[in-house]
Amino acid sequence: MTEPQWLHGLVASSVRRPVPAALRPPVGRGRKAAVLLLFGTEAAHGPDVLLIQRSTRGRRHPGQPAFPGGGLEPGDGGPVGAALREAAEETGLDPAGVTVAGTLPELYLSHSDNRVTPVVGWWHTPCAVHPADPAEVAAVERVPVAELVDPANRFTLRHPRGGHAGPAFRVRGLLVWGFTAGVLDGALAGTGFERPWDRTRVEDLPPDVLGLAARS
């Protein structure tokens, strides 16, 4: 299946959107990493995006929903290779079923000192996916875009200790927040799927999620 035009529109529009100051990579710092922003489609619900929920026992961001991804390794050849390799290791994804549409601007995560490149992919030949590395991944979900853009599932999440406040989603039993929610927020706007939502609806980060976040 040929990748849709809106996917190329997302990649093209990303170069016109300024990276927020807090996410701009500093010169000479940060570990190179990549995540896979993988879109597909199913007849039952239309376009969707692949998310994982990290294990509460894992080393990286325990318990948090995320895109498949991780640090670059010498044999990856760059962010694209790293994103596809990590997705295969974490979900059992077959990279041969993915067409890479492009990459989004690199983003810096000061908490983990990572320079992350989101790789945009089209899942032209979907395969079964699952937590291929249970020590790191607790669940794998294909989340419909229609659920992500539903205003009832969107709100602003605030860290109760002050500082971070940003977009969040509550879908498929997942609380998607932080870096992943920020990338999704920009991607939904870039694809044209975004619907108006109440940005004044604010919730605090739940105590159980806050406790897991403190471990990462």
Each residue's pLDDT tens digit, 90-127: 999 999 999 999 999 999 998 889 999 999 999 999 99
Is 34 in a helix, a strand, or coil? strand
pTM: 0.93
Instruction: Return the CA Rg of the chain.
Output: 16
HSE toward the beta carbon, residue 37, CA cutoff 13 A: 27
Decide which of 129 and 215 is more confident.
129
pLDDT digit string, tens, across residues 188-211? 999 999 999 999 999 998 888 766
What percent of the chain is modeled with pLDDT above 90? 75
pLDDT digit string, tens, across residues 29-70? 899 999 999 999 998 999 999 999 999 876 666 789 999 999
Report pLDDT for 162. Answer: 64
198 DSSP assignment? -
Report pLDDT for 216. Answer: 57
Mean pLDDT (the chain, rounded): 91
User: Looking at the domain that runs over 5-215, which CATH code has it been given?
Assistant: 3.90.79.10
Least confident of 120-129, 135-144, 161-170, 174-183: 161-170
User: Residues near 170 by Cβ (< 8 Å), separated by ≥ 6?
Assistant: 153, 155, 176
Amino acid residing at 73: E
Q: In sequence order, what DSSP letters do the residues of 72-137 get, joined into one string?
A: --GGG-SHHHHHHHHHHHHH---GGGEEEEEEPPPEEETTTTEEEEEEEEEESS------SSTTTE
> Could you tell me the maximum CA-CA distance found in the chain, to the nearest angstrom?
47
Amino acid residing at 11: V
Report pLDDT for 62. Answer: 77
59 DSSP assignment? S
Contacts 24+ apart (CB under 8 A), 203-208: 203/155, 203/156, 203/157, 203/158, 203/168, 204/157, 204/158, 204/159, 204/160, 205/157, 205/158, 205/159, 205/160, 205/177, 206/175
Residues 123-134 have a mean pLDDT of: 96
Whole-angstrom distance, CA of residue 140 vs CA of residue 129: 7
Ranges of each domain in the chain: 5-215
Read off φ and ψ for residue 179, nearest 5 degrees: -55, -45
Position 129 pLDDT exceeds 60 = yes
SS3 content of the chain, % helix, strand, coil (to 5): 30, 35, 40
Position 169 pLDDT exceeds 60 = yes
Q: How many CB atoms lie within 10 A of CB 214?
A: 9
Decide which of 22 and 107 is more confident.
107
